[in-house]
Structure 1
């Protein structure tokens, strides 16, 4: 099979009467829509409207279409989708994260046909976060010969690694007749090759490949082999597939925990949604690789897909960079969480969704476990437990090499067991008196669930420890290999005693709880790690983690124009915040104390906190014109830290585990240099500092200066900074941007959780002195980016676009 990108020369029409515009895929049709307080997605989706979108493309049918099979492979389309060729439907899919095929059989060679993809995402809300709309993942054109490798037809299983790697191989072939062979080849970076030639018998070639001097894959050493599978019919090459994979083994049990290649591993995890910040849900390799790289650099070694299968290019990056992945099937089973989700179609769609996810993950070293669902409160019932066992069995039959898990919120299960599930959308639908129904009905979607959690705050953990919480979770935990606990780390020690064969994992937790959580992860046998909510900020669930001040709306269900969740340890532009400093301190990954400062522009105002963000501190000592007290947070795994301001010691305090890994100082703000010094056993172990800014001006800083191909991206930091690069946090400015030459603007905005400017426009305001532009190449040549500010001058830079690869 040959597979080529099918991204160019598409046309988009919004609705029935909208203007037809050219687009290059992948494309998020929602991110450019106008938001409003009454928009259909509401708080869930960041107050964007839904819509109907019609993508079309002219395609000339190749001359060999009679002898070869042509089809389209969609990695994902968000919305209820129908694909047609010249008006004849050839495929449909209602699962927005499922990869699927559309056959192009029957097209006359040489004929020009119209391919149309109709995407209906008008019924909203249909998910608990920003979903985007349209063909937001890549599309490929496949060409298959009559004899070919079947879809999901290559199964590799590493059986052992010492003294040599032994890899079981199964290749499923369709259309094979007579003398058919499968040739499998593994090549390392040094050109060393191991191979095997296997007979195809009844459509399957099975055997083993021995690989000497193996270099195993792990998060620390993400070594990849190039794999080539060739099919020969009567000696003639008829099909070939190539890909990269890593060789590693997975074991997990209650006594030894999780072991990769026989080595114990604790998961330092981050939950991550699928949007790409300013790009919306557009999935491009450059964006996914950048996100994975920043997460890895921030100390995470594991990522949880939240709450849908990851896009393939993000998994590619995890394979290459070394990140363990928990891929997740769904957020919804047969009980609604939002009004228009697919709960009613769950029984119909989940087997195909699961099969597609497994097919995409099967040969990936990064994917080490499958989650079969998130916060499925019906698992407190017999019906839910039966469904869990059925789905688990499906996964184990399809891929027995990876463990399964289920992320359970014990509080929600407890509520569901008492008939008060917060996800039940039509609780009073049967009320005969409309007035009574209206007075009783309170649409309790995920927002209501979050509200319950926010009100309970710290006592949520106490509720999860109740015996009743165990009763409503023990049966479903028994159906999976790993018990996933959402916000219930207080149960770990007791449950391990009560259920000595249970493997426990924190599938979702609040970042501020990490010190207490990690103490349990490292001391309670059978607890294999933790995933914080969230590693990277995301669009939608607007305000769940955003602090507000004074008379601004509080709570976690922020009104329009709230846009971002605000709970990411890393913001949507890729800037790590204070929660990453806490995590790195807890994990022992800080070489020196790290400093963050509570925003000084809010001095004297009431702070409206949320439990999904433990601090609003930012990494800055640049607060021009501010007077009054500054609350300073020093993150450290040292014994003690000392704070210095402009050469004066402000005192030495305990740090590390005794201080919860964060030491606080309160001092009058004073421009200059703020420095923290760490001490271990009385000796200095490291130091770091922040400076205030001198005269600032608009500055542009590109993360790369050459774009390699049309789908590469340049991320450009736009900063109000002095000539030493110190960004001023206190002042803001209004910006406009223009892009000329061989590139196009893909996104322009900031990490402001309540930004009102569209990310697809040419104007935005800075937030804490920063903004970001994302540029994509359109042709070979140079692209010039010019940014103008109202008060801090203009700036320009030039990038190159190369089509050499």
Structure 2
């Protein structure tokens, strides 16, 4: 039978006493909870409450269960978890991001019906600094294996040397009582085959691959690989995977080498939530995110601040993105009132073991982070802990380097006895701050980036980080690029990586990445926007409250170069210009409905501009236009009239003009010659439109279609200020699973069928059922008419 999805036929009850409702996994139980100013997660989790949830499923064991090894594999459950069969606890997990396996074979009866229950207790909140979701948010699998078998993560692939041929080492673990007669066969692609005996539960194989096609971000070639466990000619068990061949080397002089080629990491920090889907992890959503990030110039992902999902790993393998997989956001010291710090000593080894087992065979994974902004690293005990984690991980995987992401300002604060994290409960009510307090907070919020840069240059910054950095292979700097040159002189053997940075700092960071030996690249906070940390990167206008965290109904963090619906904004355009990824100047415009209003900025977002010239009703208002370009000069034309030429400063040229509808054109010049041009236009009369990213789905109960709801003219130009309320209905073999927008503040839910557009847009996510056929989506608005779209679902 092998490994099969175990996601259908579940029910959910919110304890105590709520109604029992059917659900299909993966599922985020928190997303449907009512938000409010008293929501227990506070700004951290977007004002959602905590809760305790019980998932239940009746299941009939196979008749041959006595001769098989049956188990359930949970890729992720958020909340303190207890798994029961027929009321008897058989497994527990306290780590919300750890994959764990629960054996079934000792507690079931062959052919018998059993009740499986999963209790996820997420009542104690906030337990994280971002939106976590709750419940069984990642897939569950049923493993039905022979007594002697290949375990789930028992294959390790390491490319020993490239050349002709390329030499590959494959380690294979065998579980169960293995007789001496067993062998393992590995087939790589159609032509390469090797066998080896099983000794001590392991087989070690060497393959010589002629004319190998190597894996990299530019050429993500994967080999279909089959691993078979044999007793003579009899196949006892078989697993398949997609293997990539690549070498990896890091040192302080040559930096990062993949297949001998020097690589600079153009990185995106990415949280685990999926926007309007909440924390629920779907393969289609993870692949979509990887595709959009790659299309916007990124070549790397930092999984912040927890182990990455299997589906996103597969996507990075296939699409070509390097991965820094991160273990945790906390060690022994808490950052929120109910986080995982008290469990760290008891859980970190199992967490690390699960992360590395998952990552072993993935070529996209190039390093491990042992922690993020861990202030204990400023102490001798913290440095010892860093060394302990590094040594443990390196024993499990000696072929990938480790890093730790340190915020030097926070480390300095910690050595002075000042906690940089608020551990008290959020207040029940959030009073509006006084003008004086508000102004001070806004000034500090806007200048936090500069403050962190300045303080990180102090001599004490080296003292509070050097021992922890010495314990790992790569020193991870959060918001401290100003130290790169000096620290390379002070520590000539140090390898440096920008593990977290403000998107607006990239023009100053990237020249250092390019010219300072041993600096591997940069990861901006963030590539993709996320739920929680409400308003940290959201600008406020007029009388709206500013500051670092915004009051309810703030929901979205706001620093993402790409918003939660997958739409890139000005930070993405800046990054592409810096990286040389633009073929023409890119235009963005500050929101014209906010023109002339008091603006309260935040350091985590350099610009609120969006790529649109469709601002009906704003005629005559001053338009602030940003043109992102690596050209020598940029000219801007409005309806054929030149607004002048500008030399971009740090890849940005600014223009101001009274807004008038029509066509806005940016022309780039290099060496006096035109190098490219781009255009934005205003919109004609807007009507409701549905634009599906794909027209076909797999009828497997898991595939998703992403449908853009737009208030746009007949050419598809979205009118930015044409807000409307839209209701979605779905007919056929599919259903609406999420519906929402990128509005930074909203009291609407993502789980209903009605939502208000934001900047003329919303996003509906349709989940396929199990039957092939035609799905018809109908959207009805109050003022912009009705629109329909059809999707086809096909048999897997």
- Whether TM-score is above 0.5 comes out as yes
- Structure 2 gap ranges (5+): 426-439
Task: List aligned pairs for 1:360-375, cutoff 5 A.
Answer: 360-375=358-373
Q: CA RMSD in A?
A: 1.4
User: 1:589 and 1:791 mapped to 2: Cα distance?
Assistant: 40
Which string of whole-angstrom CA distances, capped at 9 and with x for unpartnered residues, describes residues 715-738 of structure 1?
Answer: 001111000100001221111111
User: 1:451 and 1:2 mapped to 2: Cα distance?
Assistant: 59
Task: List aligned pairs for 1:410-559, cutoff 5 A.
Answer: 410-423=408-421, 425=423, 456-559=448-551
Which string of whole-angstrom CA distances, capped at 9 and with x for unpartnered residues, describes residues 645-679 of structure 1?
Answer: 00111111112xxx110100001111000000000
Specify the SS of the correspondent of 2:154.
strand
User: 2:443 and 2:184 mapped to 1: Cα distance?
Assistant: 57
User: 1:456 and 1:212 mapped to 2: Cα distance?
Assistant: 54
- Once the 2 structures are TM-superposed, how far is the Cα of residue 164 of structure 1 from its aligned partner? 1.4
Match of 1:647 in 2: 640
Which string of whole-angstrom CA distances, capped at 9 and with x for unpartnered residues, describes residues 256-279 of structure 1?
Answer: 000000000000000000000000
| Normalised TM-score (structure 2) | 0.96
Specify the SS of the correspondent of 2:668.
strand
User: 1:547 and 1:164 mapped to 2: Cα distance?
Assistant: 55
- Once the 2 structures are TM-superposed, how far is the Cα of residue 315 of structure 1 from its aligned partner? 0.6
- Once the 2 structures are TM-superposed, how far is the Cα of residue 235 of structure 1 from its aligned partner? 3.0
| Normalised TM-score (structure 1) | 0.95
Specify the SS of the correspondent of 2:151.
strand
- Once the 2 structures are TM-superposed, how far is the Cα of residue 449 of structure 1 from its aligned partner? 13
Match of 1:153 in 2: 154
Specify the SS of the correspondent of 2:697.
strand
Match of 2:123 in 1: 122
Give the conservation status (yes or no) of the 8 Å contact 1:335–1:423. Answer: no
Specify the SS of the correspondent of 1:493.
helix
State whether structure 2 residue 660 is matched by structure 1 residue 670. yes
- Of the three residues 559, 562, 574, the one matched with 2:566 is 574
User: 1:636 and 1:3 mapped to 2: Cα distance?
Assistant: 50
Match of 2:172 in 1: 171
Q: Aligned pair in 2 of structure 1 residues 453, 628: CA closer, same or farther (>3 Å)?
A: closer
User: 2:573 and 2:173 mapped to 1: Cα distance?
Assistant: 48
- Once the 2 structures are TM-superposed, how far is the Cα of residue 160 of structure 1 from its aligned partner? 0.7
Give the conservation status (yes or no) of the 8 Å contact 2:184–2:229. Answer: yes
- Of the three residues 281, 286, 289, the one matched with 1:288 is 286
Which string of whole-angstrom CA distances, capped at 9 and with x for unpartnered residues, describes residues 48-94 of structure 1?
Answer: 01100000001101011100011000001011000010011111001
User: 2:759 and 2:276 mapped to 1: Cα distance?
Assistant: 17
User: 1:334 and 1:455 mapped to 2: Cα distance?
Assistant: 30
User: 2:379 and 2:267 mapped to 1: Cα distance?
Assistant: 29
Identify which range, 775-784 or 378-387, moves more after superposition. 775-784
- Once the 2 structures are TM-superposed, how far is the Cα of residue 421 of structure 1 from its aligned partner? 2.4
User: 2:715 and 2:151 mapped to 1: Cα distance?
Assistant: 57
4+ residue runs over 6 A deviation: 448-453
- Of the three residues 178, 182, 185, the one matched with 1:183 is 185
Which string of whole-angstrom CA distances, capped at 9 and with x for unpartnered residues, describes residues 605-661 of structure 1?
Answer: 100000000000001000001122100000001000000000111111112xxx110
Give the conservation status (yes or no) of the 8 Å contact 1:198–1:207. Answer: yes
Match of 2:737 in 1: 746
Match of 1:433 in 2: none
Specify the SS of the correspondent of 2:204.
strand
Give the conservation status (yes or no) of the 8 Å contact 1:153–1:172. Answer: yes
Which string of whole-angstrom CA distances, capped at 9 and with x for unpartnered residues, describes residues 309-354 of structure 1?
Answer: 0110011000000000000000000000000011111010000000
Task: List aligned pairs for 1:42-61, cutoff 5 A.
Answer: 42-61=42-61
Give the conservation status (yes or no) of the 8 Å contact 1:422–1:449. Answer: no
- Once the 2 structures are TM-superposed, how far is the Cα of residue 783 of structure 1 from its aligned partner? 1.5
- Once the 2 structures are TM-superposed, how far is the Cα of residue 768 of structure 1 from its aligned partner? 0.6
State whether structure 2 residue 301 is matched by structure 1 residue 303. yes
State whether structure 2 residue 97 is matched by structure 1 residue 105. no
User: 2:279 and 2:238 mapped to 1: Cα distance?
Assistant: 32
- Of the three residues 722, 733, 750, the one matched with 1:731 is 722
Task: List aligned pairs for 1:703-718, cutoff 5 A.
Answer: 703-709=693-699, 710-718=701-709
- Once the 2 structures are TM-superposed, how far is the Cα of residue 151 of structure 1 from its aligned partner? 4.6
Q: In the comparison of the two structures, how many residue pairs are matched? A: 777
Give the conservation status (yes or no) of the 8 Å contact 2:445–2:548. Answer: no
User: 2:444 and 2:251 mapped to 1: Cα distance?
Assistant: 34
Give the conservation status (yes or no) of the 8 Å contact 1:312–1:360. Answer: yes
- Structure 1 gap ranges (5+): 428-447
User: 1:360 and 1:354 mapped to 2: Cα distance?
Assistant: 10
Give the conservation status (yes or no) of the 8 Å contact 1:95–1:349. Answer: yes
- Of the three residues 257, 275, 278, the one matched with 1:277 is 275
